[in-house]
């Protein structure tokens, strides 16, 4: 069976990544693909998942950014064989957040860019990466999340995501006023990718 494709969604918190990743999965299924939505980090993976969940929702970050990024990388590595197996079975994986998330957030929070790349270099690369860019909605902000209530950090993260998009050739989708219009832009990008890679 042909290897499935691996698509990643990036962007700041509360920008609509979950929504558009799921909409894309629905569209891919209608088009005859076998999609699966995954959200990183994988919180039920021991020991990294529960540990990351506690760190992110503890109200404030009590460890260094480098230690935090190492835990994220461990979580991706723990899921790596499962990811590879799904792709070999022909699944089209649509992932919310992945390597690029760690690099962009690490840059935004002052970590060394080359070091961030090095700790992630043995992980599987995605076939297509999409960053959704725009003004986030604040209705879904988690008040105990270490990032989501920090508007200044969110601005830095947005800049870092756009920087990474340029460096790593991610596709930038501008968030539209209507959800359906953003979804259309996402699908046009994915459709072009599938036509090109087929």
Write down the pLDDT at residue 70: 98
As for how many domains the chain has, the answer is 1
> pTM for the complete prediction?
0.92
Flag whether pLDDT at 147 surpasses 60.
yes
Number of residues that make up the chain: 198
- What values do phi and psi take at 63, rounded to 5? -125, 165
* pLDDT value of residue 192: 94
DSSP H helices in the chain: 17-30, 48-56, 65-88, 99-108, 113-119, 151-168, 179-197
Show the domain range for 104: 6-197
Higher-pLDDT residue of 195, 106? 106
Residue 186 belongs to a domain: yes
At 28-83, the pLDDT tens digits run 999 999 999 999 999 999 999 999 999 988 877 889 999 999 999 999 999 999 99
Asked if the structure places residue 1 within a domain, the reply is: no
- pLDDT of res. 1: 45
């Amino acid at each position: 069976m042909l290897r499935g494709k691996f698509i990643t969604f990036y962007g700041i918190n509360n920008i609509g990544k979950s929504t558009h990743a799921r909409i894309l999965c629905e569209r891919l299924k209608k088009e005859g693909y076998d999609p699966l939505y995954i959200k990183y980090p994988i919180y039920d993976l021991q020991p990294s998942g529960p540990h990351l969940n506690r760190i992110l929702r503890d109200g404030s970050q009590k460890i260094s950014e480098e230690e935090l990024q190492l835990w994220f990388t461990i979580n991706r590595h723990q899921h790596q064989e499962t990811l590879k197996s799904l792709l070999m079975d022909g699944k089209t994986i649509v992932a919310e957040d992945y390597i690029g998330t760690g690099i962009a957030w690490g840059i935004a929070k002052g970590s060394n860019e080359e070091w961030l790349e090095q700790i992630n270099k043995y992980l599987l690369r995605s076939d297509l990466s999409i960053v959704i860019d725009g003004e986030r909605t604040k209705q879904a902000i988690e008040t105990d999340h270490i990032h989501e209530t920090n508007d200044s950090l969110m601005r830095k993260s947005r800049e870092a995501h756009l920087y990474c998009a340029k460096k790593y050739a991610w596709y930038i989708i501008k968030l539209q006023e209507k959800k359906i219009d953003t979804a259309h832009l996402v699908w046009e990008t994915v459709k072009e990718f599938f036509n090109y890679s087929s």
